[in-house]
Structure 1
Amino acid sequence: MDAQKQAASTWFRTLRDNIVQAFEALEDSQTTGPFSDREAGRFEVSETKRDSADGSDAGGGLMSVMRGGRVFEKVGVNVSTVYGTLAPRAQAAMAARKGIEGMADDPRFWASGISLVAHMQNPHTPAVHMNTRMFWTPHAWWFGGGSDLNPCIEYPEDTNSFHTVLKEHCDQHDPAYYPRFKKWADEYFYIPHRNRARGVGGIFYDDLNTGDWDRDFAFTQAVGRAFLPAFLSVTVKRRDTAWTEADKDAQLIHRGLYAEYNLVYDRGTKFGLETGHDANAVLMSLPPLAKWV
């Protein structure tokens, strides 16, 4: 499994590099609008480390954050590869949720992935989330991830465009994947205390292990490759749309929903904080400004 782990870790880093390059190019191309007189946004990159209880090497990654750009108000693209042993609480949670036996006897784990969240300057351009990951224990391995669109001002044609690209990439691997993973996203990215979805959905999957590692890895790569064409098309379409103060207010309120979901329900946030990963990297998804009514 070491070769597969390395291949997955390398891919997530490659995807990160491609996205960072594309986002900086988008900033360069924004030559109209209220923020076009700014310097084009650039990512600030820093290394992250996972803290282990005994002080041993536990892995880490790169946190790349752009703030105050022409198109992006805040966007983070993180990659990490972490490993070590799961604490008893995490062992119990994993055993309960995934039905894995023997975690207490051998609590080693290894995880690698990419996580991205973008909050935009223009309220008409949607916020977006994407992540893909591989997780390994001596008892099981699996892939997970997906992407979902989070507009504060919804355009049905943008939603359809985003979902169409995701479906095309899913269908190349299994026609059953898109409807299954779309439904999963609708259920997962839901805010029970608000009785509403976080956004307009996308796809979400977890525990993907068909027994064929190469097949599952190829699909996870496809999910990553789908992201840029799905997101950039709607962003370029809306980035020059004029907005009002009421539009900006709606954006800030919607960001409050996003923050609530990530802090209360998101499993990745909980896992990252409980396993000692860099808190700034884990909470990178939070918007720069938000509002509650």
Structure 2
Amino acid sequence: MTFVLEKSVTQQISMRGVIDKFFRKMFDNTCQSLETLDGKQFSEQSWNRNHNGIWTVGKSSEDAIYIDRVLHNGNVLEKVGVNYVAIEGELPPGMSFEKSGALATDVADKINMSKANRYFATGSSFVIHPYNPMAPTAHANYRYFEIRNGEQPIYWWLGGGADLTPAYLFEEDAVHFHQVHKDVCDQYDAAYYHRFKKSCDQYFHIPHRDEHRGIGGIFFDHLNNDNPEKLLSLVTSCADAFMPAYMPILERRKDMSFSKENKYWQHLVRGRYVEFILSCDRGMRFGLASGMVKQQSVFNCMPPAASWEYDDQPLPGSKEAMLKEVLKTPREWL
């Protein structure tokens, strides 16, 4: 059952403001932590919309804040792509979640899709590609979205999650990452972690490979079936858990020794990452189709180097083969 807000316009604007400010704080604090670890700073590009609604380089305005940052060729981090948005606009007539492939929902039943609909969207995303192949790629994205009739929201949801994509599997890393997120989810509902972990495994799946992108984490979308304040607290707590879940792993692995063969395997794993984004990611398709996402932002999250082979099956019994087995059949880590 979809939860529909029974709030005044003033209260809803206040909720938007809270989540918007949180995502901006998360964006800045996470970048600062990564800069401290790496010793190199992010570069930044802001975007704005012209009178035709086209994204152009320039300082963001009040109704369209869109910021990309990238850290490239750092001391520890080979590439980090991060993004923050807080935008208002109109979905093109006929644009829906179903049409874009973003997610099959009953939203079309509540909205007249034959006309343009006003929306507000805010969120922050991070994709971290360490240089050392023993350190896993990490991804986190949290967002809030609403469709409005004038000033009144008629449909809203929260979404997001975090997941881990190792080239080399260390079971203690997987356990730690999942345990931190489970501890947060359990504060709100004992069923949340298992539900979100299953959703993560299902979403980050590459059908043409019959493999999962990584070793999972948590993922949820169209979360709106409970008290808004509770869900807001859940999402902000999960977002706050990302760095405690990931940074100890990065610290453990960033200085490990590795070979050219290890680095090449990392590039093959990164190739799967690219395949998922370009062929499977529903949110990316919706963002590009609706005009909410710049193409530069999509490619900003791509790995700095990736490889493909005609037949990349690893040697039986190798560490690479062990990873492939887990990618074929997700584990319960806790």
Conserved in 2, the CA contact under 8 Å of 1:185 and 1:202? yes
C-alpha separation between the residues in 2 aligned to 1:89 and 1:189?
Answer: 27
C-alpha separation between the residues in 2 aligned to 1:19 and 1:137?
Answer: 29
Cα separation, partners in 2 of 1:224 and 1:92, compared to 1, 3 Å: closer
2:28 corresponds to 1:17: yes
Conserved in 2, the CA contact under 8 Å of 1:50 and 1:60? no
Q: Structure 1, residues 23-68: CA drift from partner, whole Å, max 9, x if none?
A: 01111xxxxxxxxxxxx32100121235775569761321111000
Conserved in 1, the CA contact under 8 Å of 2:163 and 2:214? yes
Letter in 2 for 1:119: H
TM-score under structure 1 length normalisation? 0.91
C-alpha separation between the residues in 2 aligned to 1:167 and 1:252?
Answer: 30
Correspondence for 1:126: 136
Cα separation, partners in 2 of 1:213 and 1:245, compared to 1, 3 Å: same
Alignment of 1:102-141 (within 5 A): 102-104=111-113, 105=115, 107-138=117-148, 139-141=154-156
Conserved in 2, the CA contact under 8 Å of 1:151 and 1:200? yes
1:98 Cα deviation after fit: 1.6
Correspondence for 2:85: 80
Letter in 1 for 2:275: E
TM-score under structure 2 length normalisation? 0.80
1:103 Cα deviation after fit: 3.4
2:41 corresponds to 1:42: yes
- Please list every run of 5 or more consecutive structure 2 residues that lacks an aligned counterpart in the other structure: 1-11, 56-60, 149-153, 310-334
State which of 224, 231, 253 in structure 2 corresponds to 1:238: 253
Cα separation, partners in 2 of 1:86 and 1:52, compared to 1, 3 Å: farther
2:260 corresponds to 1:260: no
State which of 162, 180, 193 in structure 1 corresponds to 2:177: 162
Q: Number of paired residues?
A: 281
Letter in 1 for 2:106: G
Alignment of 1:150-229 (within 5 A): 150-229=165-244
Question: SS in structure 1 opposite 2:174?
Answer: helix
Letter in 2 for 1:165: V
State which of 272, 279, 290 in structure 1 corresponds to 2:306: 290
1:174 Cα deviation after fit: 1.1
Q: Which moved more, 1:103-112 or 1:158-167?
A: 103-112
Letter in 1 for 2:88: Y
Letter in 2 for 1:246: E
C-alpha separation between the residues in 2 aligned to 1:50 and 1:256?
Answer: 33
Conserved in 1, the CA contact under 8 Å of 2:97 and 2:286? no
Q: Which moved more, 1:52-61 or 1:221-230?
A: 52-61
Correspondence for 2:318: none
Conserved in 2, the CA contact under 8 Å of 1:91 and 1:103? no
C-alpha separation between the residues in 2 aligned to 1:201 and 1:51?
Answer: 39
C-alpha separation between the residues in 1 aligned to 2:37 and 2:301?
Answer: 20
State which of 287, 294, 298 in structure 2 corresponds to 1:278: 294
Conserved in 2, the CA contact under 8 Å of 1:91 and 1:107? no
